[in-house]
Structure 1
Amino acid sequence: MTAQPQIELSNIDKHYGAFHALRDINLTIENGQFVALVGPSGCGKSTLLRSLAGLESISGGTMKIAGEVMNGVPPRKRDVAMVFQSYALYPHMSVLDNLTYSLRLKRRPKVEAEVAANEVAATTGLQKLLKRLPRELSGGQRQRVAMGRAIIRHPKAFLFDEPLSNLDAALRVHMRKEIRALHDRLKATSVYVTHDQIEAMTMADHVVVMREGVIEQQGAPLELYDRPANMFVAGFIGSPAMNFVEGTVDDSGAHVTLTLPDAPSIGIGRALGPGRKVTLGLRPEFLRLATGDKAGLRLSVTTVESTGATTYISSLGEPEIVVVVNGRTDVAAGDTIALTIAPENVHVFDPETGMAI
């Protein structure tokens, strides 16, 4: 017998007056899966999460959690736990009291609540902080308390609403590892909203890319990276973003002449109709500096930025081309460089629809 999905969203719509915030959302989340909802501000990802939590009412469609229809069910009866960006801790309560609050509301015995809190504290590394107030904690510690308060309820799903946005870069990297490790230990079902595609790629089993209330594409992180369905997903997944260059398929059907100075030609590893207008997607990390007399895409360098382990080279002109080089390079601003890329690493899109060809 096939296991029942933990969350099922079927044809979900959400309207705010004339504004269509969610459009025909279909998403299945398996028990124990970590799903990231990602996209630019205003794409509908937080609205979808809040709808799951019951904080927003949907305008159409069916929402199920653990097989039960949740349409119209109030938040307190959905058995989900939400972790907010703002932590949402009670400032006058100790860490222990924040952790046990939901259990005390259910009139659980004090001893039972404290035993549960100590177990959660051990899981989240809060054992030595139970007597402190939120103002005496660091940002990362407050986020642990917020997660602990969710864990203690043993919910059917954890809902994370950009929980790391208030942390500095180094702590975000540390906390995303902690959240993923915690998810694995608890064998939980997690839905995680973020605008940071690196967080989505590194934490999630399944990534859902949204734009203007629509799911543009969903799948495993590397599936979206390797086979983006359209230019939006291709440009959103990957850092630095994919380069896009217009061109025309030449008479051979297997090369594209680019609309760049000197009209360079790039192999596309497939046959298309000669004369067809296309947009090529070239990931910066797959572009290679050409050596010797090897022909390639010639660019005038405008900036060179090195982090020590990686060098970022940017070209002058429109469109800007970004190249990622492992290690260091002698290339300097003002130089002219030649680049090559293997045909299997070239993405081809229809310039009118933006869809992958």
Structure 2
Amino acid sequence: MTLQIELSGVNKYYGAFHALKNIDLSIKKGTFVALVGPSGCGKSTLLRSLAGLETISGGDMRIAGKLMNGVPPRKRDVAMVFQSYALYPHMTVEENLTYSLRIRGVKKAEARKAAEEVAATTGLSQLMKRYPRELSGGQRQRVAMSRAIIRDPQAFLFDEPLSNLDAALRVHMRKEIRSLHDRLHATSVYVTHDQIEAMTMADHVVVMKDGVIEQQGSPIELYDAPVNRFVAGFIGSPAMNFVPAIVGDDGLHLSLQFGAGLAAGNLRLNQPLKPGSRILAGIRPEHIQLTEAGKGQFSLPVAVVETTGSATFITTATTPEISMVVQGRSNVKSGEQVGFAIDPALVHLFDETTGKRI
């Protein structure tokens, strides 16, 4: 498959601050890529660099095979959708859609026809004569996306486009954006701090931290085999539990340390490790099973029980806290002692010092 976007050794400095550090990233044509990470990790800087809104300090950047170093935004043939919609308030929906075509010299009738076709795709046909102030947040975001689509660009760049919407509308718009991507066979780069958005929408997820790509791959690859503690803790909701542990004298058992005054839980390892070594055991909340007290691999006191109806979230009174998810409802009460069981095959092991996967 043809590469649509190629970044090789890309660096970006703001004075002495190194915002992007030797970024290598290849995006195939038609792929939906999500850039995720905490605030300040460099994901928006990377997106703005692709758009030409930031000038890279080093490395090469290609779009559709053409070198983009120093090329101004208007000549990059990419379309950007912003968090703030960035619509022209004095123009109707139709005028907002046709503006980019009109300034390129496209005839008025041809531009209107293109706008009608895009509006039919995005569900805006009945809103063409309205102004942005007369639209809901979801409708404004659809106008912003439609304005990008009408340009038929080499790539779509989304900068946290759903951050201003309420929770229900975000879920709805996630489906709309992904559906549009599939219908258009587009190449999309989507920046978000919400890893659920990334996991549900993207073909390829890029996890960033401090200007570096920590890991990239399919959502399932990142979920099943995170390369370090940071990625493991960032991907998945609720977040992964990290428990200090000591490898037993036989090298085949792991003693989980739950804090002072609490019995250690023992797990059998699937691979031998150095006896006596200290590591971190990563356990996803959804991989812990609830049992009767004394019948699991370990028993712990419960601190908090939260019920949503479809699932129950249980947090233990330990240091560190252990979170688990029970599908459906549970009779467990705060202050009770309950048993927990863990499948050793689902436990992730990390070096206590470096945080790297073992």
> TM-score range, shorter-chain basis?
over 0.9
Structure 2: distance between partners of 1:297 and 1:53: 53
Kept in 2, the 8 Å contact 1:15–1:59? The answer is yes
Structure 2: distance between partners of 1:267 and 1:114: 67
Counterpart position of 1:8: 6
TM-aligned CA distance change 1:293 to 1:315, over 3 Å: closer
Structure 2: distance between partners of 1:293 and 1:313: 17
Letter in 2 for 1:283: R
Q: 1:157 aligns with which of 155, 158, 168?
A: 155
* Deviation, structure 1 residue 150: 0.2
Counterpart position of 1:74: 72
Counterpart position of 2:306: 305
Letter in 1 for 2:356: M
After superposition, residues 183-222 of structure 1 pair within 5 angstroms as 183-222=181-220
Query: Does 1:27 pair with 2:25?
Result: yes
Q: Which moved more, 1:253-262 or 1:108-117?
A: 253-262
Q: Secondary structure at the match of 1:6?
A: strand
Letter in 2 for 1:33: T
Q: Give CA-to-partner distance per residue, 1:70-121, whole Å, 9 cap, x none.
A: 0000000000000000000000000000000000000110000000000000
Counterpart position of 1:137: 135
Q: Give CA-to-partner distance per residue, 1:218-263, whole Å, 9 cap, x none.
A: 0000100000000000000000000000011001212111222212
Kept in 1, the 8 Å contact 2:2–2:28? The answer is yes
C-alpha root-mean-square deviation of aligned residues, in Å?
A: 0.9
Kept in 1, the 8 Å contact 2:293–2:299? The answer is no
**Gapped regions of structure 1 (runs ≥ 5):** none
* Deviation, structure 1 residue 269: 1.8
Kept in 1, the 8 Å contact 2:293–2:337? The answer is no
Letter in 2 for 1:46: S
**Gapped regions of structure 2 (runs ≥ 5):** none
Counterpart position of 1:330: 331
Letter in 1 for 2:5: I
Counterpart position of 2:256: 258
Counterpart position of 1:352: 353
Letter in 2 for 1:25: I
Letter in 2 for 1:216: E
Structure 2: distance between partners of 1:327 and 1:149: 43
Letter in 2 for 1:6: Q
Counterpart position of 2:111: 113
Kept in 2, the 8 Å contact 1:160–1:192? The answer is yes
Q: Give CA-to-partner distance per residue, 1:181-218, whole Å, 9 cap, x none.
A: 00000000000000000000000000000001000000
* Deviation, structure 1 residue 304: 0.4
* Deviation, structure 1 residue 293: 4.6
* Deviation, structure 1 residue 135: 0.2
Counterpart position of 2:179: 181
Kept in 2, the 8 Å contact 1:43–1:210? The answer is yes
Between the aligned residues of both structures, percent identity stands at 67
Letter in 2 for 1:203: M
Structure 1: distance between partners of 2:104 and 2:294: 76
Q: 1:97 aligns with which of 95, 98, 104?
A: 95
Kept in 1, the 8 Å contact 2:293–2:338? The answer is no
* Deviation, structure 1 residue 292: 6.7
* Deviation, structure 1 residue 291: 3.6
Q: Secondary structure at the match of 2:115?
A: helix
Structure 2: distance between partners of 1:278 and 1:232: 15
After superposition, residues 266-277 of structure 1 pair within 5 angstroms as 266-277=267-278
Kept in 1, the 8 Å contact 2:8–2:25? The answer is yes
Structure 2: distance between partners of 1:90 and 1:285: 46
Structure 1: distance between partners of 2:230 and 2:266: 24
Q: Give CA-to-partner distance per residue, 1:136-177, whole Å, 9 cap, x none.
A: 000000000000000000000000000000000000000000
Structure 2: distance between partners of 1:315 and 1:176: 33
Kept in 2, the 8 Å contact 1:55–1:75? The answer is yes
Structure 2: distance between partners of 1:293 and 1:105: 73
Letter in 2 for 1:55: L
Structure 2: distance between partners of 1:303 and 1:340: 19
Structure 2: distance between partners of 1:316 and 1:293: 17
Q: 1:169 aligns with which of 156, 167, 170?
A: 167
Counterpart position of 2:239: 241
Count residues with an aligned counterpart.
Answer: 355
Letter in 1 for 2:232: A
Kept in 2, the 8 Å contact 1:245–1:279? The answer is yes
